[in-house]
A and B are shown apart, each in its own frame.
Chain A
Amino acid sequence: MATKILCIDDDQDVINVCKKVLTLEGYDFDHASDGEAGYRKAKDMKPDLIILDVMMGNDTEGFHAAYKFRQDDELKYTPILMMTSVNQKLDFNFNKKRDREFLPVDEFLEKPVNLDMLVVTVKKLLALKKEQVNIDGSK
């Protein structure tokens, strides 16, 4: 069974690109365009990795979605790759070291996402063992 990736982003074009690239890389790809739909889809398909846009409809939708996954017994240990493009809008820069302390996600990539980095990061996160996943913002 192929490895499954769920991408949650409200930009159809970002989805198109991720879909094509990750499908060509051999993954099963599915997507949703907001946190709520993403959660439902995740419950359904049980992805091996979730790619999550930090800022969808409202500024914090991505954060909320991340917490929601971590509180769900079935999805708790699914690695999350967060895509950000907020450095300007929220007046702060994502700092991996610092933000991992409170955000339960496993890696950040800044948009526009370099596709080589995307592929490499996806591979890396898929190789995480259950106990390595950053489930409570502590890793």
Chain B
Amino acid sequence: MNNLTEKIKALIVDDEKGMCLGTQRILGDFSFPIEELDTSVNFDVEYVCSGADFYKVIENKKYDLVVMDYKLPDANGLELLEYLNGKGADTGVLMITAYATFETAVKATKLGAYDFIAKPFSPDELKYSVMNLVKSILLSRNVRKFQEEKKRIRFEFVSVLSHELKSPLNALEGYIDMISRYHGKMDDSELKTYLERAKTRTVSMRKLVMDLLDLTRFESGARNRECVDIAFNELVSESLNNIREEINSRGIAVEAVFDAEYNIVADRTEIEMIVNNLISNSVKYNKQGGRVMIKTENKDGDLLCAVSDTGIGMTEQEQTRLFKDFSRIKNKDTENILGSGLGLSTINKIVSLYDGEITVNSKYGVGSTFTVRLKNIIKEVPNGN
């Protein structure tokens, strides 16, 4: 059950050597689990017997835990605590005191001592206090790590996004600049071509903004998910009808194979996003007169939906970055195809909500198959056997 062990570096500060040795032995044998972190804790214990030695050892080593006697011959606990804080150490302090007055307790707590324990104490009392202290240190470290990771991901997202927004602006500014300086040297048809390109970039920038809204709505959980009965085959047909015009104008033949009626229980918008995006890709990245094939299957209650095309395909290297936000493959075949590079990454996120997966199988110049597997969402298979 416990995958990890965390070795806590502990330091005991007490002028009675017997106390040090006793505490060292107790903690040395002590180990406990922290379920929230799926980890178990044990200790690596050192001790020093004076304030002077304390200052020496903490110069060279970071400790997770300090168990210190409040009253030392050459220093008092508050001073040491203050010094530890000054170094910005991420250390939990357990203060041992024979006569904790209310004031020292308040003062020490303000300085970051997490707990007190009065002399004399039993091994169990010590263990209990240490356990609580270590738990709170490790949990707050974990929260911090998580928040930093979240910040990093967000920074990266915003950086890529700003790049994606700057590119069309650069293009537009280039056209505007060029036309205002050189229009006298261009004929009308040229001008028209450039203006059309400029228009295309604004359209795709708008689409990017809209897709981005969709994506963040899913990610933030701002949308209320609602699981309803969906006739999957019908949903696929509707999705095809939505882009019928494009299918026809590009002479693409579509074939949908359902070996049964599939009724699923899921959020309609989410399933539509998946199907629309896959079908739209299979048409967009197809060749003139190509084929699209949609195949649905029941695999032990999981819905398997594969969308294949005879389009431009992708190299293996290109396939590795498909599911990242904003990832688009740029080459001669795709340069005139509009897209935000968010379709597949959005699908990927939705699919994970269903504990499912999306896989790709593609060959450059030949075609691609995207297969989505949604766990356990098929409700019934009428006349299935």
A residues sitting closer than 8 Å to B (CB atoms) are 10-14, 16-17, 20-21, 24, 33-34, 55-57, 85-86, 88-89, 91, 111-116
Q: Does B99 contact A (CB under 8 A)?
A: no
Q: Decide if B174 touches A113 in the complex (CB within 8 Å).
A: yes
Q: Does B166 contact A (CB under 8 A)?
A: yes
Q: Decide if B181 touches A115 in the complex (CB within 8 Å).
A: yes
Q: Decide if A112 touches B173 in the complex (CB within 8 Å).
A: yes
Q: Decide if A17 touches B162 in the complex (CB within 8 Å).
A: no
CA distance A13 to B190 in the complex (A): 14
Q: Decide if B185 touches A14 in the complex (CB within 8 Å).
A: no
Q: Decide if B197 touches A11 in the complex (CB within 8 Å).
A: no
Chain A residues with CB under 8 A of B197: 12-13, 16
Q: Decide if A24 touches B185 in the complex (CB within 8 Å).
A: yes
List which B307-353 residues lie within 8 A (CB) of chain A: 330-332, 335-336
Count of A-B residue pairs with CB < 8 Å: 72
B192 to chain A, nearest CB (A): 13
Besides the contacts A57-B330, A115-B174, A115-B177, what 7 more A-B pairs have beta carbons closer than 8 Å?
A: A13-B197, A16-B175, A16-B197, A33-B330, A34-B331, A88-B163, A116-B181
Q: Decide if B178 touches A11 in the complex (CB within 8 Å).
A: no
Q: Decide if B163 touches A21 in the complex (CB within 8 Å).
A: no
Contacts A/B (CB < 8 Å), 16 sampled: A13-B197, A13-B198, A16-B174, A20-B178, A20-B182, A20-B190, A20-B194, A24-B185, A33-B332, A33-B335, A34-B331, A85-B167, A88-B162, A89-B162, A112-B174, A113-B170
Chain B residues with CB under 8 A of A114: 177
Q: Decide if A112 touches B169 in the complex (CB within 8 Å).
A: yes
CA distance A131 to B167 in the complex (A): 35
Chain A residues with CB under 8 A of B160: 89
B196-213 interface code vs A (CB 8 A; 1 in, 0 out): 011001000000000000
CB-CB under 8 A for A13 and B163, given A20-B182, A24-B182, A115-B181: no
B321 to chain A, nearest CB (A): 9
Contact with B170, one of A20, A56, A85, A86 (Cβ below 8 angstroms): A85
Counting from the closest, the 3 A-B pairs by CB-CB distance are A13-B171, A17-B174, A112-B173
Q: Decide if B159 touches A89 in the complex (CB within 8 Å).
A: yes
CA distance A116 to B174 in the complex (A): 11
Q: Decide if A89 touches B163 in the complex (CB within 8 Å).
A: yes
Contact with B167, one of A11, A16, A24, A113 (Cβ below 8 angstroms): A11
Chain A residues with CB under 8 A of B163: 55, 85-86, 88-89
Q: Decide if B174 touches A14 in the complex (CB within 8 Å).
A: yes
Chain A residues with CB under 8 A of B174: 13-14, 16-17, 112-113, 115
Closest residue of chain B to A13, judged by CB? B171
CA distance A10 to B303 in the complex (A): 39
Chain B residues with CB under 8 A of A86: 163
Closest residue of chain A to B200, judged by CB? A13
CA distance A11 to B177 in the complex (A): 17
CA distance A11 to B336 in the complex (A): 11
CB-CB under 8 A for A21 and B331, given A11-B167, A14-B174: no
Closest residue of chain A to B185, judged by CB? A24
Closest residue of chain A to B182, judged by CB? A24
Q: Decide if B170 touches A14 in the complex (CB within 8 Å).
A: yes
List which B150-174 residues lie within 8 A (CB) of chain A: 159-160, 162-163, 166-167, 169-171, 173-174
Chain A residues with CB under 8 A of B336: 12
